[in-house]
Structure 1
Amino acid sequence: SIVCVTGQHREMLDSVLKIFNIKSDYDLNIMSHGQTIIDISNKVLAGTDRVIKECNPDIVLVHGDTSTTFNGALAAFYNKVLVGHVEAGLRSFDLYSPFPEESNRKLTTALATLHFSPTTTNKRNLINEGIDEKKIFVTGNTVIDALMSVVDKNHVFDEEVLNKIDYKNKKVVLLTTHRRENWGAPMEAIFSAVCELIQANDDVEVIFPMHKNPAIRELAHTYFDQYNDRIHLIEPLEYLDFTNLMSRVHLIMSDSGGVQEEAPALGKPVLVLRTETERPEAVEAGTVKLSGVIKENIFKLANELINNKEEYEKMCNASNPYGDGSACEKIVNEIYNYFNVSE
Structure 2
Amino acid sequence: MKIATILGTRPEIIKMAPIIDEIAKRGIDQIVLHTGQHYDKEMSDNFFRDLEIPSPDYNIHVGSASHGKQTGLMMKGIEEVLVSEKPDIVLVQGDTNAVLAGALVASKLHIAVGHVEAGLRSFDMTMPEEINRRVADVASSMYFVPTVESAINLLAEGFSRRNLIVTGNTVVDACFRHLEIAKKRGIEEESLSRLDIENMDNILTLTMHRAENVDDRKRVTSIIEALKELDQMNIIFPIHPRTKNTLQEFGLFDELDSLEHVHIIKPIGYLDFLQLTSASTLILTDSGGLQEEAITLDVPALTLRYNTERPETVTSGGNILVGSDKDAILEYVDRILSDEEFRDKMKNAPNPYGQGDSAKLTVDAIQEYYEKGLLDIKAPEDIMSSFSRKMALIDEDITVREFETKNDALIHMAYDGDEMRFPADDLNLNGMMITYDERE
Match of 2:255 among 223, 231, 234: 223
Inter-partner Cα distance in structure 1 for 2:185 and 2:280: 14
- Larger deviation: 265-274 or 304-313? 304-313
Structure 2 contact 189–269 (Cα < 8 Å) conserved: no
Amino acid at match of 1:9: H
Match of 1:209 in 2: 238
- TM-score scaled to structure 2, two decimals? 0.72
Shift of 1:333: 0.7
Contact 1:58 1:81 in 2 (8 A): yes
Task: Give the distance between the partners of 1:111 and 1:341, measured in 2 at CA.
Answer: 21
Structure having greater relative contact order (Cα 8 Å, sep ≥ 6): 1
| Aligned residue runs from structure 1 range 293-332, under 5 A | 293-332=324-363
1:23 is matched with which residue? 55
Separation in 2, partners of 1:112, 1:240:
31
Higher mean Cα deviation, 144-153 or 255-264? 144-153
Tell me which residue corresponds to 1:291.
322
Question: Match for residue 89 of structure 2?
Answer: 59
Q: Describe the shift of the 1:155–1:311 C-alpha distance in structure 2 as closer, same or farther (beyond 3 A).
A: farther
Deviation of 1:188 (Å): 2.4
> Does the Cα contact within 8 Å between 1:41 and 1:67 map onto a contact in 2?
yes
Q: CA deviation at 1:77?
A: 1.6
Deviates more, 1:205-214 or 1:329-338: 205-214
Other-structure match for 1:189: 222
Q: Structure 1, residues 285-327: CA drift from partner, whole Å, max 9, x if none? A: 0011110112222222222222222211110011111111111
Give the letter for the 1:114 counterpart. Answer: M
178-187 vs 234-243, greater mean Cα deviation? 178-187
* Cα shift at 1:168: 4.9
- 4+ aligned runs moved over 4 Å, structure 1: 152-155, 166-169
> Counterpart in 2 of 1:172?
203
Q: TM-score, normalised by structure 1?
A: 0.92
Name the CA distance, whole Å, in 2 between partners of 1:311 and 1:28: 48
* Contact 2:197–2:279, Cα closer than 8 Å, also in 1: no
After superposition, residues 1-343 of structure 1 pair within 5 angstroms as: 1-11=30-40, 12-14=42-44, 15-20=46-51, 21-32=53-64, 35-96=65-126, 99-152=127-180, 156-163=186-193, 164-168=195-199, 170-183=201-214, 184-185=216-217, 186-198=219-231, 201=232, 204-213=233-242, 214-216=244-246, 218=248, 221-227=253-259, 229-340=260-371
In structure 2, distance between residues paired with 1:159 and 1:136: 41
Q: How far apart are the structure 2 equivalents of 1:216 and 1:233? A: 15
* Partners of 2:121 and 2:150 within 8 A in 1: yes
Q: Deviations over 1:55-93 (max 9, x none)?
A: 111111111001111111111122121111000000011
Residue 270 of structure 1: CA displacement? 0.6
SS of 2:179 mapped into structure 1: coil
Q: State which structure, 1 or 2, has the greater radius of gyration over its C-alpha atoms.
A: 2
Q: Does the CA contact (< 8 Å) of 1:192 and 1:223 recur in 2?
A: no
Change (3 A) 1:31 1:169: closer
Larger strand fraction of residues: 2
Q: Distance in 2 between matches of 1:24 and 1:247?
A: 29
| Cα distance between partner residues in 2 of 1:169 and 1:295 | 25
Distance 1:77-1:166 versus aligned 2 partners, 3 A rule: closer
Runs of 5+ in structure 2 lacking a partner?
1-29, 374-440
Whole-Å separation in 2 of the counterparts to 1:123 and 1:242: 31
Residues 1:271 and 1:155: Cα distance change in structure 2 (over 3 Å): farther
Bigger shift: residues 217-226 or 188-197:
217-226
In the alignment, is the contact (CA less than 8 A) between 1:195 and 1:223 conserved in 2?
no
Cα 1:9–1:325 change in 2 (3 A) is farther
Distance 1:323 1:9, change over 3 A: farther
Per-residue deviation, 1:22: 2.1
Shift of 1:195: 1.3
Identity within the alignment, %:
37
Comparing 54-63 and 296-305, the one that deviates more:
296-305
Kept in 1: contact 2:192–2:265 (CA 8 A): no
Q: Distance in 2 between matches of 1:150 and 1:77?
A: 32
CA deviation after TM superposition for structure 1 residue 155, in Å: 5.4
Question: What secondary structure does 1:2 align onto?
Answer: strand
In structure 1, C-alpha distance between the alignment counterparts of 2:68 and 2:289, rounded to whole Å: 24
Q: How far does the alpha carbon of each residue in 1:206-237 deviate from its partner, in whole angstroms, 9 at most, with x for none?
A: 1101112152452662331221x321111112
| C-alpha distance in 1 between matches for 2:148 and 2:308 | 16
The answer to whether the Cα contact below 8 Å between 1:155 and 1:244 also exists between their aligned partners in 2 is no
Q: Give structure 1 stretches of 5+ with no counterpart.
A: none
The Cα offsets for residues 187-219 of structure 1, whole Å up to 9 and x where unpaired, read as: 222222111212xx2xx1111011121524526
User: What code does the residue aligned with 1:69 have?
Assistant: V
Q: CA deviation at 1:46?
A: 1.2
Report the number of matched residues.
333
Amino acid paired to 1:211 = H
Per-residue deviation, 1:6: 0.8
